[in-house]
């Protein structure tokens, strides 16, 4: 089995606690179960579970999220052939990514923005949490991904979304202080998606790619902050391990904006790690320890999440 890129392995050795390092490394060689979310705009979790069990599946509930289920990896193709999949009662979604809308906690009637929304799983989850009541703006800059986003939202029965094909870095100027809550699942180097079972999963990656992603992320988070109402909430997240894409981006926002406050958010999962408050010999803002790193395990992929509130 091929080894992970050396630069990436060195990164893991720096950001993962020594006690957790062996388990994290082994996670990159695992076949993980498929994870799904019940689309409560069309069916309750109980209804979906019963439907799948009747079709011969054995969905296992996720303890910390009542609308989520695990199934064996070998069931994935069969799931995509079910009526529940085609008719939008279930959505196949990475389990770690389900955390972001839960942290955002959107409420019915609010005005919400998903700033880098394709392919649409998190946006559909947001709409479900809002019970399809309120206003949801979704932004995507890449045309093929934009049309896939629209198709997924239609299939999931989302009626409150308005989609915009545009560079998200322009949103702050176009929509100043417009949104109650904003999700920025930032385009990143996708390090959490590496798998030793498929070396192609890291062919795009390099330290230079991390720096390029960080430049874009700085522009996006600045735009999101400008578009957020006073008193509003921003959730910033990536599927990257590199602090340059995570804590350093949030640290920069905190330094530039005195009205930015980290809001601790701790899901009931065992594989969580505090955000870094120092990197490569330099101190960062101490409150970054209240951001969240999800360590990859036998089920979940790595993830970073910061919940930030704008002072009223």
Which positions make up the binding site?
116-122, 140, 167, 185
Q: Rounded to whole angstroms, how far apart are CA atoms 8 and 280?
A: 15
Neighbours of 311 (CB within 10 A): 11
Q: Rounded to whole angstroms, how far apart are CA atoms 289 and 306?
A: 10
Region of residue 33 (phi > 0: left; psi between -120 and 50: alpha; otherwise: beta): beta
Q: Rounded to whole angstroms, how far apart are CA atoms 47 and 276?
A: 41
User: CA 131, 134, 135, 136: dihedral to nearest 10 degrees?
Assistant: -20
Tell me the catalytic residues: 239
For 233, the enclosing helix (H) or strand (E) is strand 228-238
Q: Rounded to whole angstroms, how far apart are CA atoms 238 and 182?
A: 14
Between the alpha carbon of residue 140 and those of residues 33, 39, 191, 228, the distances in Å are 29, 22, 21, 18
Q: Where are the alpha helices (DSSP H) in the chain?
A: 6-15, 21-27, 45-54, 76-79, 83-86, 99-104, 121-129, 143-155, 171-174, 207-227, 247-256
Q: Is the peptide bond before 45 cis (omega within 30 degrees of 0)?
A: no
Q: Rounded to whole angstroms, how far apart are CA atoms 213 and 9?
A: 19
Burial class (CB in 10 A: 0-12, 13-18, 19+), 38: buried
């Amino acid at each position: 089995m091929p080894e992970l890129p050396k630069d990436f392995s060195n990164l893991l050795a720096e950001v993962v606690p020594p006690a957790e390092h062996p388990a994290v490394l082994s996670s990159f060689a695992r076949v993980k179960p498929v994870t799904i979310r019940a689309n409560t705009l069309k069916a309750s979790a109980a209804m979906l579970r019963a439907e799948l069990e009747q079709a011969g599946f054995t969905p296992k509930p996720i303890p910390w999220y009542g609308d989520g289920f695990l199934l064996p990896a070998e069931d994935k193709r069969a799931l995509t052939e079910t009526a529940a999949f085609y008719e939008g009662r279930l959505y196949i979604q990475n389990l770690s990514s389900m955390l972001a809308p839960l942290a955002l906690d959107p409420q019915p009637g609010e005005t919400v923005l998903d700033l880098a929304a394709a392919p649409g799983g998190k946006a559909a989850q947001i709409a479900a949490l809002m019970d399809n009541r309120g206003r949801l703006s979704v932004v995507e800059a890449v045309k093929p991904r934009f049309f896939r986003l629209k198709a997924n939202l239609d299939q999931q029965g989302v009626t409150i979304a308005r989609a915009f094909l545009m560079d998200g870095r322009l949103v702050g100027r176009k929509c100043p202080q417009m949104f109650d809550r904003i999700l920025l699942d930032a385009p990143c180097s996708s390090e959490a998606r590496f798998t030793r079972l498929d070396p192609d999963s890291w062919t795009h990656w390099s330290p230079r790619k991390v720096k390029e992603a960080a430049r874009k992320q700085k522009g996006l988070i600045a735009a999101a902050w400008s578009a957020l109402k006073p008193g509003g909430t921003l959730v910033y997240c990536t599927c990257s391990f590199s602090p340059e894409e995570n804590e350093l981006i949030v640290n920069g926002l905190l330094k530039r904006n005195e009205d930015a406050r980290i809001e601790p958010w701790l899901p009931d999962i065992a594989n969580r790690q505090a955000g870094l408050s120092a990197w490569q010999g330099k101190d960062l803002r101490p409150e970054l320890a209240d951001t969240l790193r999800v360590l990859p395990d036998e089920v979940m992929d790595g993830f970073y999440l910061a919940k930030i509130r704008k002072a009223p």
